[in-house]
Amino acid sequence: MLLLPDPSTSHAFLFLFIISLLSFMASVDNTREIYDHGLQRFERFVGAKRGCNITGISKLKEYLHRFGYLPQTNNNSVFTDLFNEELELAVLRYQEKFGLPITARLDAGTLNQMAIPRCGEPDDIAGRASTTHLTENYVYFTGRPKWVRQKPMTLTYAFSPWSFIDYLSPRDIRIVFRRAFSRWSNVVPITFLETGDYGFADIRIGFYSGDHGDGQPFDGVLGILAHSFSPENGKLHLDASERWAVDFEREPSEVAVDMESVAVHEIGHLLGLAHSTVKDAVMYPSLKTRERRVDLTVDDVKGVQSLYGSKSSLRFGSSLVSESTSSTNEAAAILALKSEWWFRGLGSLPVVLLLGMTMVHVI
């Protein structure tokens, strides 16, 4: 006699199977979470160490060189695919900078960090001035450059009339940047005013693709999101290839980048701050897709105030968040907004499974 399973039991089993599958996917080796931002598929490099020769290692050397970790002794030399002593030292510096386990290998955690979209400005490795305090991690550009103007200081900014994006309205973009500038003007005695005179504005903002003439070419979707320059250069460039978002509720793209988060970060560079090692700080160099980080931490505020002084009307704690509060807020934002890429080889159509507040995308 053939015994058929009880339908209710089958449904319960199916539900438990789905839960188990989700748990498995959440705990799968993090090499599955590695982003691809145009360098190479990073999976091939997992576990690489000194002595290895793997096609594509030269691209990772170019990456580490661009951000200040790997010096190039000869300007005419070409990076090879050999994992040599110089690359080992560069990986050690990178791991130390980002608080990663010091392995001197290209482990999954290190490659994951490299693959997260980021600012195009090099990190604080050599030749830059930084603080050496026990509790502060803010960093200056070499020589501590800053804007010098008659007090009270006013800096003008303008948007390029030729280098824009067409899927967001100019009004929405201007509102985002107005908020971003105000986050800094709330803590230092500087007023930012928009002007229509792009040629004479102190700060000039535009969207560009690829090689756009400033020696720092963009690399397409993700990878390098934006870059700006130390005072008093005033250039702030965003990669036009990105899918920029002013409101994640209106932008469903998995690779959307929060414009305000990037704007706040780049304005920090324009004011003279380099990259911080505090992960909650707006001056931290990396930003994941669909992540939002706009609140100045105590470290950000102390850094910019060390250059320009404090705003007399500022009540400490009223215009910024503490490290602990920022961390909590960011964790909540990531839980609600962050999408992880799973199993890239399974096809191009995403299957979205919603469980509680966590969205898991199978791609």
Ligand-binding annotation for 269, yes or no, is yes
Ligand-binding annotation for 119, yes or no, is yes
SS3 call for 285: coil
Asked whether the beta carbons of 212 and 218 are under 8 A apart, the reply is: yes
Q: Which is it for the CA torsion 220, 221, 222, 228, positive or negative?
A: positive
Buried b or exposed e, range 234-262, using 16+ CB within 10 angstroms = bebbbbbbbbbbbebeebeeebbbbbbbb
CA–CA gap between residue 267 and residue 181 (Å, rounded): 7
Q: How far is CA 167 from the centre of its chain?
A: 22
A 10 A CB-CB count for 197 gives 8
5: which 2 tokens?
Answer: 């399973």
* Helix H or strand E segment including 83: none
Ligand-binding annotation for 361, yes or no, is no
A 10 A CB-CB count for 313 gives 9
Ligand-binding annotation for 227, yes or no, is yes
SS3 call for 289: coil
Ligand-binding annotation for 265, yes or no, is yes
Query: In the annotation, is 340 catalytic?
Result: no
Ligand-binding annotation for 11, yes or no, is no
Beta strands in 71-133 (DSSP E): 118-119
CA–CA gap between residue 87 and residue 267 (Å, rounded): 32
Give ∠ CA 168-122-211 in degrees, rounded to 5: 50
Ligand-binding annotation for 202, yes or no, is yes
CA–CA gap between residue 264 and residue 295 (Å, rounded): 9
Ligand-binding annotation for 133, yes or no, is no
The catalytic residue among 121, 260, 266, 340 is 266
Binding-site residue ranges: 119, 202, 212, 214, 219-220, 227, 237, 239, 242, 265, 269, 275, 283
Binding site feature residues for Zn(2+):
119, 212, 214, 227, 237, 265, 269, 275, 283
Catalytic residues: 266
Binding residues for Ca(2+): 202, 219-220, 239, 242
